[in-house]
Amino acid sequence: MEGMKQIEAGDLNVGYAEAGPTDGPAVVLLHGWPYDIHSYVDVAPLLAEAGYRAIVPYLRGYGTTRFLSSETLRNGQQSVLAVDVIALMDALQIEKAILAGFDWGARTADIIAALWPERCKALVSVSGYLIGSPEANKMPLPPRAELQWWYQFYFATERGRFGYDKYRHDFAKLIWTIASPRWDFDDATFDRSAASFENPDHVDIVIHNYRWRLGLAEGEPKYDDLEKRLAEGPLISVPTITLEGDANGAPHPDATSYAKKFSGKYAHRVITGGVGHNLPQEAPQALTEAVVEVDGY
């Protein structure tokens, strides 16, 4: 993506793309796993044309984002990713931003909207309310739902860590295919994003994230208070639009299950046409329109 920059923020030196006027309303666009900033390769220019300042950071463990210290735990627990984004906003002197995301990025945006509403002007969350807790995750799901999480159980083993490290390119491509069964992406599109998984901390962050969810890896004690608040399933009061593709092959909650989690002005949209999990890249116009719409709430 054009406009690539680096900035020290919190525990990280963050790589991010920026588009649009620096004095425009800020929109922070957050990617998921196994994706990267190119999920927003078409969204960022559209927002820039509409007068917004689009910021698209690589999450910890992706692309050009690096830890400042070799001593820092390569932690992937949910609250940490939100703390990273708050630190980035602080470093960029952005007091308040519209947040939009999918997958890990949607969960991160949800967390900021819930715990730091004063920093979030409005929210666009693909697949809705994704805040969870290791305690809640101890409850088994019906077998078909568990099957969708096969990779989480794989990652719980050392064989899985080794396998993901060894085959991360093929692994990610398989996830893309399963998660977006009707998205006809080409090798060049995939390879552009796959380059970001060569980050030296990528495997550690991904494995820790999924093991932490199952209670198989500890988080950092300094984030215990945040996780305790998140485990209570806090309501989100900021204006929100949730989106779902009509062909999302990845595990995702039904929209009726989370509608009541949004206590402010709220709308849900289903994006049709075979749109899968990577909604911003598969339906950039729809994501952009949601950001502009929710900004007007």
Tell me the pLDDT tens digit for each residue of 125-171.
999 999 999 999 999 999 999 999 999 999 999 999 999 999 999 99
d(CA 240, CA 266): 5
Beta-carbon contacts of 144 under 8 Å, excluding residues fewer than 6 positions away, are none
What is residue 268's predicted lDDT score, i.e. its pLDDT?
98
Q: List, as one string, the DSSP characters of 190-250.
A: HHHHHGGGGSTTHHHHHHHHHHHHTTSS---GGGHHHHHHHHT---B-S-EEEEEETT--S
What is residue 229's predicted lDDT score, i.e. its pLDDT?
98
Greatest Cα pair distance, the chain, in angstroms, is 50
What is residue 3's predicted lDDT score, i.e. its pLDDT?
81
Distance, C-alpha 174 to centroid of its chain: 19
d(CA 269, CA 64): 33
Give CA separation, 252 vs 8, 48, 107, in Å. 33, 30, 12
Q: What phi-psi label fits residue 10: left (phi over 0), alpha (psi between -120 and 50 degrees) or beta?
A: left
Mean pLDDT in each 10-residue stretch from start to end of the chain (297 residues)?
92 98 98 98 98 98 98 98 98 98 98 98 98 94 95 98 98 98 98 98 98 97 98 98 98 96 98 98 98 97
What is residue 43's predicted lDDT score, i.e. its pLDDT?
98
d(CA 219, CA 210): 12
What is residue 164's predicted lDDT score, i.e. its pLDDT?
98
In the numeric block, which tokens belong to residue 28? 């922070």
pLDDT digits (tens, 9 = 90+) for 53-82: 999 999 999 999 999 999 999 999 999 999
What is residue 54's predicted lDDT score, i.e. its pLDDT?
98
What is residue 1's predicted lDDT score, i.e. its pLDDT?
78
